[in-house]
Amino acid sequence: MTATKPAIEVAGLTKSYGDHTVLDGVDLTVPEGTVYALLGPNGAGKTTIVNILSTLLTPDDGEIRIAGFEVRREHAGVRAAIGVTGQFSAIDELLTGRENLRLMADLAHLDRATATTDVTVMLERFDLVDAADRRAQTYSGGMKRRLDLAMTLIARPRLIFLDEPTSGLDPRSRRDLWAIVREQVANGVTVLLTTQYLDEADQLADRIGVLDGGRLVAEGTAAELKRRVSGGHVSVQFTDAAGLTASAAAYPEATTDAEALTLKMPNDGSIAGLRRVLDGLDDDNVAGLKVESADLDDVFLALTGHAAEAPASEEIPA
Amino acid sequence: MNTNYTVRDSATMLRRNLLHIRRYPSLSIMLVAQPILFLLLFVYVFGGTLGPGLPGQEGAGSRCDYLVFITPGILIMTVASVALGTAISTATDMTTGIIARFRTMDIARVSVLTGHVLGAVTKTGFAVVIVTVFAFLLGFRSDAGPLAWLGAIGLLILIAFSLTWLTVGMGLAADSVETASNTPIFLVLLPFISSGFVPTDAMPAGLRHFAENQPFTSMIDTLRALVTGAPTDSDLWLAIGWCVLIALLGYLWSRRLFLRVPAK
């Protein structure tokens, strides 16, 4: 088995709607059996890339090969190789979990015996046995997402696209889903996933592409990207909202998390810098603080000049 | 590789649509109740007055004669009513995420639509049987032989098939489910301006010209001949011609709408 043959090859991909450029020359290569994460805020063009690679949209320009098939001319070949799980559930809510899986098995043209076995296996693997004969509309968010992914995987695709697979999921469901993705990769499946969650890319991906305003602004392993940012940040935990607000005003470059009562202040790693931070703080309303090396949040901020969470869709270059 | 699986994929999609009909029966019940209400309204409210006006009765036509006269029109209206429901269910289906999934799969794409059409034709079959039984309960009697009844069933299936392809297109073209439930209403109203409820001779010239030449009239006249055991005339071929034309245009239109790349 050669690990060098690319499952996804994209060169010079562009897409625009009128004056609005969504993708502005994207190049990326994903070797077979690896995970590639497209990381970026809403409006960066992540879903557009997935839609183009999965034949839902036609690109304006670019050379794109999926599992060796040209995406515009060889639809059938591309579609036979891929499986897609989007951010909106692609399940039939009026059917039961079992019927949904059976539907996919039949559309994947599995023979009757294989289809029956595979449906049972999937229900067990995705912890849906008890709910198998209930309508999918009664499922919880996590169950729907599991069913959705099971429906993608029952056709045994060699390449799967996961468009924000864990958005809106609770931490446990996210970890379950990550485990399933890792299992697929261990079986040689290639995964392209999009995410706004930096820890998700860090956890799953072999390589990460940072997408901003329709361009890949950086690419590399999580470690490589982190190395591009010197230092890291100081994370301060406050005891009350008043203390947080006061300090946030004093450090305009810091990111505030009002819910967790924390303030993340960029830090160049020097003692002098750390002292400056400490000088501005008061024991009365500080519960604790941590000095952390750069995480992908810092990377994003350093690479794009704005935080990952902020919707950046208005700044797309024309 | 696609074409080899057209039949299998269509059968799979038909099964999906039959499950939908079973899981969501209220829409179907409403669509069957409507023609039954019209039947009751016309026979019991208008029938006493309209019966004597029927042709060939010399003013002696009864409420029951009127029932026999309008039953074919009511049956066609039943078919149109179910077809209207198909526009709604197609438009609703297009709003669900699973359609995007189907588009990324290596399946015969048109099978998504074929599933809707075949499901609707099956549903129409049930609806027509219910309405026919109801007409018999009200006193409908017929001298038609088994062959004529078979012909009537065949014609109704053909009409259902053609109207459904048209309403699937309307469902796909609609920008919302509300629009999809409004645009096909003309299909349920058109049988009123035909030979379905009163003889066309009673209408003013312009309207009469329209009523005599619109597709539903040839369908209703043929169906009336079949279920009353009368000989069919050239209207049969006209009715079949209309069905084939409507089915073909509806199919090509629906297919084009569905295969176009979603404009997102």
Q: Is residue B26 part of a domain?
A: yes
| CB contact at 8 A, A118 and A105 | yes
Task: Chain B: give the shortest CA distance to residue A43, in Å.
Answer: 13
Query: In the numeric block, which tokens belong to residue B147?
Result: 């062959």
Q: For chain A, how far is it from start to end, CA to CA, in angstroms? A: 43
Q: How far apart are CA B1 and CA A69, in angstroms?
A: 15
Strand partners, A61: A14
pLDDT-derived band at A102 (thresholds 50, 70, 90) equals very high
Q: What is the pTM of this model?
A: 0.83
- Residues A253 and A119 occupy one common structural domain: no
Is B164 or A310 the better-scoring residue by pLDDT? B164
Residue type, A311: P
- Residues A215 and A185 occupy one common structural domain: yes
User: Across all residues in chain A, what is the average pLDDT?
Assistant: 86
- Residues A180 and A262 occupy one common structural domain: no
Supply the CATH number for residue A245's domain: 3.30.70
**What is the ipTM score, two decimals?**
0.87
Contacts of B12 in chain A (CB under 8 A): 103, 106-107
- Residues A277 and A172 occupy one common structural domain: no
Q: Is residue A311 part of a domain?
A: no
- Residues A240 and A179 occupy one common structural domain: no
- Residues A205 and A254 occupy one common structural domain: no
Domain tally, chain A: 2
Q: Is residue B97 part of a domain?
A: yes
Residues 6+ apart with CB under 8 A from A135: A93, A94, A95, A96, B23
In terms of residue numbers, what domain contains A241?
230-293
> Each residue of B2-44: pLDDT tens digit?
457 899 999 999 999 999 999 988 888 998 999 999 999 999 9
Answer yes or no: is pLDDT of A204 > 90: yes
pLDDT-derived band at A222 (thresholds 50, 70, 90) equals confident
Strands ordered across the beta sheet of A286-293: A255-257, A262-267, A232-238, A286-293
In terms of residue numbers, what domain contains B183?
2-259
Task: Flag whether residue B141 sits within 8 Å of chain A, measured between CB atoms.
Answer: no
How many alpha carbons lie under 13 Å from residue B162 in its C-beta half-sphere? Answer: 21
> Each residue of A4-38: pLDDT tens digit?
579 999 999 999 988 899 999 999 999 999 999 99
Q: Is residue B264 part of a domain?
A: no
Answer yes or no: is pLDDT of A168 > 70: yes
Residues 6+ apart with CB under 8 A from A203: A178
Task: Flag whether residue B234 sits within 8 Å of chain A, measured between CB atoms.
Answer: no
- Residues A181 and A258 occupy one common structural domain: no
pLDDT score, position A226: 78
Domain tally, chain B: 1
- The whole-angstrom distance between residue B259's C-alpha and the CA centroid of its chain comes to 25
Q: What residues 96-135 of chain B have any CB closer than 8 A to a CB of chain A?
A: 96-98, 100-107
Task: Chain A: give the shortest CA distance to residue B168, in Å.
Answer: 19
- Residues A47 and A179 occupy one common structural domain: yes
- Residues A64 and A139 occupy one common structural domain: yes
Task: Flag whether residue B4 sits within 8 Å of chain A, measured between CB atoms.
Answer: no
Q: How far apart are CA A144 and CA B95, in angstroms?
A: 17
- Residues A197 and A112 occupy one common structural domain: yes
Contacts of A89 in chain B (CB under 8 A): 97
- Residues A114 and A235 occupy one common structural domain: no
Single residue among A185, A202, A226 that ends a domain in this structure:
A226
Of the candidates A138, A47, A140, A93, the one whose C-alpha atom is nearest the C-alpha of residue B93 is: A93
Kindly give the residue spans of alpha helices, DSSP state H, lying in chain B: 6-23, 25-40, 47-50, 63-94, 97-103, 111-138, 146-173, 177-182, 185-189, 205-213, 215-228, 235-259
Q: Is residue A313 part of a domain?
A: no
Cβ of A95 and B12 within 8 Å?
no
Least confident segment among A194-203, B11-20, B74-83, B188-197: A194-203
- Residues A170 and A245 occupy one common structural domain: no
Instruction: Report DSSP state, residue B261.
Output: P
Percent of chain B whose predicted confidence (pLDDT) is above 70:
97
Q: Which residue of B has its CA nearest to A74?
A: B106
- Residue A97, φ and ψ in degrees, nearest 5: -60, -45
> Each residue of B196-253: pLDDT tens digit?
999 998 899 999 999 999 999 999 999 999 999 888 888 899 999 999 999 999 999 9
